[in-house]
Structure 1
């Protein structure tokens, strides 16, 4: 008996069915059966199902003799199911990687509830992803499992069958089945949730709900949408047959009227001339099922009285109001933009302030600009600093810095009057540098993938870069930070200009030399890393050739292979679900240097973070699975296989062997890392920011002496510190100290 029976009905989805079936069969959790139901589809769905059944014994094909519709196709699949839990998935949707393992773990943790509700996100044909806006209803707060009465808000989550797992015995005992019709999910989901004795939630995106550009049956114009009335009659009939559920009538009534209003207001649903009839039927249901005392909303009142023309008039008025609002908003923005441009022009004619500096780093606070701002306060305290931060950034800012919001009058005043400008392209956007201003440009660390003018040969990675505007920006630079000779030579070639490359090290790595073991312990506690665990920071590079980002590794599978000793700190680009056992999502963490300090090792592929992490002198492991594809799209200045910073693995199994076998922190890995540090971290001794400030502000062009890599003592990782502590407690042998050659000589 498998844990899951995944039921996939298929009708005219031949273009999407393979992706759907693959998303199930490639799950890291393999205890499943896949029941694929061909609903007498006129396209190739039946043949595709048979091909998968021939290749994988977990696939059970079901071919219906005639087209029965989505609901009855699901019923046919349930009749063949033998799993503990039923999972439904439409033929054009997909499961996210690791979804079934997360569902299985949550079921186990909550004692096997009747129903587990999980989250989804809509995926659009243009690559957009939008997560369920009611995801707060799925937060795993309080005791679980629970009855619906404890979390009635679940009735507001999308009423579909495919965002839940159902205990098969519960479904069989209650005799639940799908009716025919367009809206077959409605009389299934409401009774199931109201009847379930135990419910649990999983706050994780498990399903990608495909929003097809054409072909979605609920987006077609048809009288089939009148089926909604029959389905709600079935719901209330079920409640009438089960008096213990009568308490849910007010909520069901509100959900019904809201649903009727949604269908009525969508332009692409009801055929021309049918709106009056539709509203009359909705009014009849309003009178039949309304519970006295139920609070009415505006939409409910309009449906109650069947005010068809009033309803339409209000919709038209609301649309006209929105158009007028957009016009006024656009006009106001134009006026404001012109006023700010005039303000900036006036401010640029006023004297520069030699004691002012403006910093910016990607809309937040961190990286090289943050390290330099701190160094300004230490070595040039006479300079007052301001920080350009996006209003959406809620993280901390330096206590002495003034906060500036982009696009405000204060922003343009500071940009026009400050002598020192330090930061990335957020700072230089719209800037017209004045004589006497000093612009220190911070780039993305040591370059690994192609950048600057080299992107002209990499259109997928360039993403419409305006190279003329880029060169105009370069012409304003006075200094560029560089961590090593490789960076200097690359910057001067791909960003040709008259600036000076300050090859003094990476200021962002200074914290690695100053941090203490107490700092590491505090950061690990904040991230929830268990005591004694080995924390692996997984930070892959962004793939520009993909419209939607995804993790190159199945993190749930990798964590499973690594075992309970290891924890993955996943910092992945985009809105990629990375939940799983012993997987901590740190993608939104503001400071990557803190993540480096909290971790015991780095796992990466093509990310430039590898050069910064090397300054920590902690183990680095490379994932080389899609190296050829990545380098074809992005290019590469270095082949890390020729100058490896540590061990490497091709896939989840190989990487797990590297870690569990101990190669990740062995003697060979240490030698490779030492050679890598010598080449790419020659200046990263904790004084890089000091050297930059001494040069730019204090005019001292002779850099401070550098500590050789072999003599540096960055803070050790928690695992390394624990090992040293254990060795220190080993008792020394008793007896006279052996005489060494040197001692005998003296």
Structure 2
């Protein structure tokens, strides 16, 4: 079998697609993957897989040709006896190829084998195919479309069937037409031509119902191409008189497709709806077979409206139905709005005022203060885009910690509603609240606040500890407001695109908060250490454990008193708990006794990293930032199995594989202590692992990320300077080097 996969803008889904094929129990296959000049990293992902598995055959187009031409190129290159077209954001179900091969053998190798599928949604819902019973009823029968016309009513896509290559390529030389809706024409032409058709009810394809971002769900004039595709189908019928008994069924399919497309606001925009209806009505009248019988029910009513050709009548009927469906929803929304007087009156007033082109709003960590990527962007904007005035949103208890001279608003204060309504730019490392109304002229720049090791976004649905009290629908509504999503490595780009299925643009500029790791000097390192009270010559370890979703409150995973005694007086231990935890009496006691330095409230955390000779962490994203410094990282994970099952992870940080493990690992205190006593924490093996980890995750961090963001976001310029190659970057010197 040849699995032909057209690839375009699917970097967040492509790995899952390829893995679903490569892990099939049936192994006599090849993957012919056509990179249709994809502007994202899809082409690089294909080459990566091809380097690891010879069954993956990538083909790179020099220009974008469209999905049909990509499929044509894949079919011509295919060497298998059968061709399976698989879309690159879908996956094969377990055992699919084996089930296909078995049914092909039993049915005597037909021209076409029809496949069962399921439709999967972002919220984990799985919907069975409407054709499941019909596919099951076929058993091992072999037939033609004239003998079993009901099978023409299956979902008209090429990926829910396999084609015998001799039939498809050699005998009939099928090719796709230009434009979208090319699937329908190809499906009907091949089905009407095939002399032997069979079916299997085994679920073979998992069709991903994209929430946003697929080509069919993008409105525009391209959807008018549907009329040309069906005109070609009826021309094909005219050329084959023997198929006349099928004309009425195919006409009904065409008219239903017109109405379905017209009803989708994500396909036909309001100003084009009347024209699309008129063309649908004209096609209906032109191709309607003599004696055609209207379908029953509401569909029959819509067919009559097409026959009548009155858009006003169609609009009235559809509006009435929509009004009834929306009445209760609208009433609930009105009650919610009226329940918040400030939101309903003051905010609405400001939303009617013009957007201030030179106003930017910043927030970080749910308004905890000036921090992270937004802080670095704010500082760089003051330098190279001084015309853009920045205002920070903070909680009341953060006001006392703000730098002098900073312009800020307290969340939900009167001026807060004004700046949220009028700011051209909104920069945050988390989401703004649900009450925020994203105006068309505003730009929402989502910086994020770490590289994902733990599962994020809609992936959390599978993990109750992470998903408790979370509305994923509301989460995605907030993410729908993003215009730009910042990443510091390709791993993050792929994950964010998939787990937040929204229509934002990924910008691979690096994390501005990490610029300091390449700009700080030896003097800066010494200054920070002295401010922390670290004596010269002391080896400083920064310990940063992350939060546990399956447990309330901070629970120590290291006996810090024992750890300090075992390492001795030449080591200084900086302990920083997760920001979601409050003050810890045990850590305060250890600090009072001079055993550790509790730096949980020290800001910024980047200074702690600059001061440290090594990092100990478990699953915290700080490991990816600290890797910028090219200093030793020790992974201490004594609850790996519990954490992995409770929270979910994207790779095994304890695996010891290059690119997954940043350095030495320990799963109990004895191993951790021995790592420092023996020196393996800073060994050549540790350096090798760190180098591979940096190559994968320190891709775009080079000291210039904030400038790239500011030039793109505020100045409308190209994102310059270009990213410096990893081997040409010089991180801040280690404490040992400047001692």
TM-score after normalising by structure 1: 0.50
Structure 1 residue 595: Cα displacement: 1.1
Q: Is the 8 A contact 2:432 2:478 kept in 1?
A: no
Query: Structure 2 residue aligned with 1:554, among 544, 553, 559?
Result: 559
Where in structure 2 are the equivalents of 1:177-326 lying within 5 Å? Answer: none
Q: Is the 8 A contact 1:551 1:572 kept in 2?
A: no
Query: Structure 2 residue aligned with 1:651, among 664, 668, 677?
Result: 668
Query: Structure 2 residue aligned with 1:711, among 722, 728, 731?
Result: 728
The answer to whether the aligner puts 1:627 opposite 2:640 as a matched pair is yes
Q: Is the 8 A contact 1:361 1:426 kept in 2?
A: no
List runs of 5+ in structure 2 lacking aligned partners. Answer: 1-336
Query: Structure 2 residue aligned with 1:344, among 347, 350, 354?
Result: 347
2:293 match: none
- Distance in 2, Cα, partners of 1:597 & 1:419: 35
Query: Structure 2 residue aligned with 1:476, among 475, 481, 499?
Result: 481
Structure 1 residue 444: Cα displacement: 2.6
Q: Is the 8 A contact 1:617 1:714 kept in 2?
A: yes
Q: Is the 8 A contact 1:539 1:572 kept in 2?
A: yes
List runs of 5+ in structure 1 lacking aligned partners. Answer: 1-333, 723-746
Q: Is the 8 A contact 2:539 2:571 kept in 1?
A: yes
1:173 match: none
Q: Is the 8 A contact 1:340 1:409 kept in 2?
A: no
Structure 1 residue 355: Cα displacement: 0.5
- Distance in 2, Cα, partners of 1:386 & 1:547: 34
> Compared with structure 1, are the counterparts of its residues 683 and 621 closer, same or farther at alpha carbon in structure 2 (3 Å cutoff)?
same
Partner-residue secondary structure (3-state), 1:413: helix
- Distance in 2, Cα, partners of 1:496 & 1:510: 29
Query: Structure 2 residue aligned with 1:459, among 450, 464, 469?
Result: 464
- Distance in 2, Cα, partners of 1:339 & 1:715: 48
1:56 match: none
Deviations 1:313-344 (A, max 9, x none): xxxxxxxxxxxxxxxxxxxxx99951354111
1:615 match: 628
Structure 1 residue 467: Cα displacement: 0.8
Deviations 1:215-260 (A, max 9, x none): xxxxxxxxxxxxxxxxxxxxxxxxxxxxxxxxxxxxxxxxxxxxxx
Partner-residue secondary structure (3-state), 1:560: helix
- Distance in 2, Cα, partners of 1:499 & 1:369: 18
Partner-residue secondary structure (3-state), 2:565: helix
- Distance in 1, Cα, partners of 2:737 & 2:631: 9
Structure 1 residue 649: Cα displacement: 1.7
1:674 match: 691
Q: Is the 8 A contact 1:572 1:587 kept in 2?
A: yes
Between the two proteins, the alignment pairs up a number of residues equal to 389
Partner-residue secondary structure (3-state), 1:645: coil
2:737 match: 720
Query: Structure 2 residue aligned with 1:596, among 591, 609, 631?
Result: 609
Deviations 1:425-466 (A, max 9, x none): 464452101111000012231101011101111111122111
Deviations 1:598-637 (A, max 9, x none): 1111000111110000011111111132111111111001
Query: Structure 2 residue aligned with 1:443, among 444, 448, 452?
Result: 448
TM-score after normalising by structure 2: 0.51
- Distance in 2, Cα, partners of 1:352 & 1:477: 17
Query: Structure 1 residue aligned with 2:359, among 346, 356, 359?
Result: 356
Runs of 4 or more, structure 1, over 6 Å off, are: none
2:500 match: 495
Q: Is the 8 A contact 2:431 2:479 kept in 1?
A: no
1:697 match: 714
Structure 1 residue 549: Cα displacement: 2.2
2:258 match: none
The answer to whether the aligner puts 1:563 opposite 2:568 as a matched pair is yes
Structure 1 residue 714: Cα displacement: 1.4
Structure 1 residue 486: Cα displacement: 0.5
- Distance in 2, Cα, partners of 1:625 & 1:695: 43
1:528 match: 533
Structure 1 residue 702: Cα displacement: 4.8
Give the stretch that moved more between structures: 614-623 or 655-664: 655-664
Query: Structure 2 residue aligned with 1:368, among 364, 369, 373?
Result: 373
CA RMSD, 1 decimal: 1.9
1:638 match: 651
